[in-house]
Copies of this chain bind each other. A is one copy, B any other.
Amino acid sequence: MGSAKGRIRMVDISEKKFSARMSRARVRLCASPRVLRMIKEGGLGKGDCLAAAQAAGILAAKNTAAIIPLCHPLPVSFVDISFSFRLDFMEITSVVKTAYATGVEMEALCACAVAALTVYDMAKAHDKGIVIKDLRLLEKRGGKSGVWKALT
């Protein structure tokens, strides 16, 4: 019998210890100052963009293992998504927690990506050139490797 090796493999976390874990991620959405003001003040005509982005981002964090093939399903115990605004971009930051055998980096990144796409969707009629930039992990706590922070 010929054989073909499995090509995609989940990491086996059966033997890993549970610990309290946290990840923080961030993404930027660059748009015109006018459109950023509309996003901030709820003036897009489609409604309160930020609350919708939070709802979508939180749902995405919980649904990460169904979206990213090799992510482990895990009991997300907290998700928070917050926003801050500068002149030519807005920043979306997510914090995700769990007490489990593997980390929540992907959940935090997924929450940011989907929150940003939700804002994009509500703002795109006003600005076709929006760009979603610099989606990255900022911080990671818990597990064998302890605390890690990005050099931003």
Contact = CB atoms under 8 A, between A and B. Distances in A.
Contacts of A120: 106, 109
Instruction: Tell me whether chain A's interface is mostly helix, strand or loop, or mixed.
Output: mixed
Interface string A38-58: 001010011110111011101
A66 B62 contact: yes
Given A118-B69, A121-B70, A9 B133 contact: no
A69 B82 contact: no
B47 A2 contact: no
Q: How many copies does the complex hold?
A: 6
A128 B148 contact: yes
B55 A52 contact: yes
A79 B8 CA distance: 10
Nearest to A27: B132
Given A6-B83, A11-B78, A48-B48, 4 more contacts: A3-B84, A5-B82, A9-B45, A72-B76
